Amino acid sequence: MNFKHKYVFLFPGLFVLIGILIFPIIFTIRLSLSGWNSYTPEMNFIGITNYIRLFTDDPRFWESFFRLSFLSVTTVILQYIIGFALALIVWREIKFKRFFRVIFLIPMMTTPVIMTVIWRTFFHESLGPVNDLLGNLGVKPILWLSDPVIAKFTVIIVEVWQWTPFMFLLLLAGLLSLPKEPFLAAAIDGASPFRKFVYVTFPLMAPISIGAIIIRLIEASKIMDTVFVLTSGGPGTATETSSFYIYIKGLREFQMGYAATLSFTYLVIMIISLTIIAKVLTKLMIKE
């Protein structure tokens, strides 16, 4: 089937998207070559000065980038393990199956920033329930939000709470669409549940797993909302992610030109590293 009409279907969406995006991207590149800041808010041309500054004189950006990588990879691994376990459990018949399925989905329907507002009171160091309950067990108050190391884990806890449901949903939908025959064959062979998982379920789920992990990594690489409300990047810069740092440079300090340099570099790194991760995961998981 091939018609002239096919363009009528494709073009409205394609051109609306390109139309909305083309300006910001070209503008960002141009802006990154300028010294636009609050003193000189104009599009002058300073060449690659900004890029030189970024690559030679801005450890804070690279720290925020490695922090982001650490946070997103850790949360996605945890989400994958927990989400897969939950999906496997409610995949088969189990008491209150549909109740559990609904419960496991709920967090992803809630607005991250708004839930984080609640988490903030939840982890409050003197008035929150976590430290109070732990205190009853004789544990000293934990500095959930003001200790540089623990604050990272608090962010991870909140992110895992928020987004494991998405992983769960994708994996459960995948499990439900698997063909029945391989499982019957395994049952006839008398395979143990463990062997069944290793030799049947997991290989069949590999493509779906890769898809789900990549989608989650893409979303996790944008971690910002949670950090913004929970810790504002603090204490110090302990939970500052790249997006947050760019936000500070651009929209708080109004160094628009430099922020554009950071944005563009960040975007390029994101695209390259996600492509590499996708390739590596495919190699690792589909080989057998």
User: Does 132 help bind another protein (rule: CB under 8 A)?
Assistant: yes
- Answer yes or no: are the C-beta atoms of 246 and 233 closer than 8 Å: no
Amino acid at 79: Q
Among the listed residues 218, 278, 281, 285, the single contact to another protein using CB under 8 A: 218
- Residue placing its CB nearer to another protein in the complex, 48 or 267: 267
Stretch that binds another protein, among 49-57, 169-177, 179-187, 280-288 (CB under 8 A): 169-177
Among the listed residues 51, 100, 199, 202, the single contact to another protein using CB under 8 A: 100
Stretch that binds another protein, among 54-62, 127-135, 147-155, 280-288 (CB under 8 A): 127-135
* Residue 59 burial (C-beta neighbours within 10 Å; 0-12, 13-18, 19+): exposed
The phi, psi pair for 57, rounded to 5°, reads: -140, 30
Which one, of 264, 258, 261, 246, lies nearest residue 36 by Cα? 258
Among the listed residues 71, 145, 170, 227, the single contact to another protein using CB under 8 A: 170
* CB 134 to another protein: min, Å: 11
Q: What share of the chain is helix, strand, coil (3-state, %, to 5)?
A: 75, 0, 25
* Residue 112 burial (C-beta neighbours within 10 Å; 0-12, 13-18, 19+): buried
User: Does 121 help bind another protein (rule: CB under 8 A)?
Assistant: yes
User: Does 110 help bind another protein (rule: CB under 8 A)?
Assistant: yes
User: Does 187 help bind another protein (rule: CB under 8 A)?
Assistant: no
The Cβ of residue 46 has, within 10 Å, a number of other Cβ atoms equal to 12
User: Does 107 help bind another protein (rule: CB under 8 A)?
Assistant: yes
Site for another protein in 250-269 (CB under 8 A): 250-251, 256, 259-260, 263-264, 266-267
Distances in Å between the Cα of 272 and the Cα atoms of 185, 218, 223, 232, 266 are 42, 12, 18, 28, 10
Per-residue contact flags (x/-) with another protein for residues 30 to 49, judged by CB under 8 A: -x------------------
Among the listed residues 185, 219, 236, 280, the single contact to another protein using CB under 8 A: 219
User: Does 176 help bind another protein (rule: CB under 8 A)?
Assistant: yes
Which one, of 67, 55, 42, lies nearest residue 262 by Cα? 55
User: Does 189 help bind another protein (rule: CB under 8 A)?
Assistant: no
* CB 56 to another protein: min, Å: 22
The sign of the dihedral angle between the CA atoms of 26, 267, 232, 248 is: negative
Enter the tokens of residue 163. Answer: 């987004």
Per-residue contact flags (x/-) with another protein for residues 53 to 92, judged by CB under 8 A: -----------------------------x--xx--xx--
- Concatenating the DSSP letter of every residue in 51-113 gives HHHHHHH-HHHHHHHHHHHHHHHHHHHHHHHHHHHHHHHHHS--TTHHHHHHHHHHHHHS-HH
* CB 3 to another protein: min, Å: 6
Among the listed residues 46, 52, 81, 173, the single contact to another protein using CB under 8 A: 173
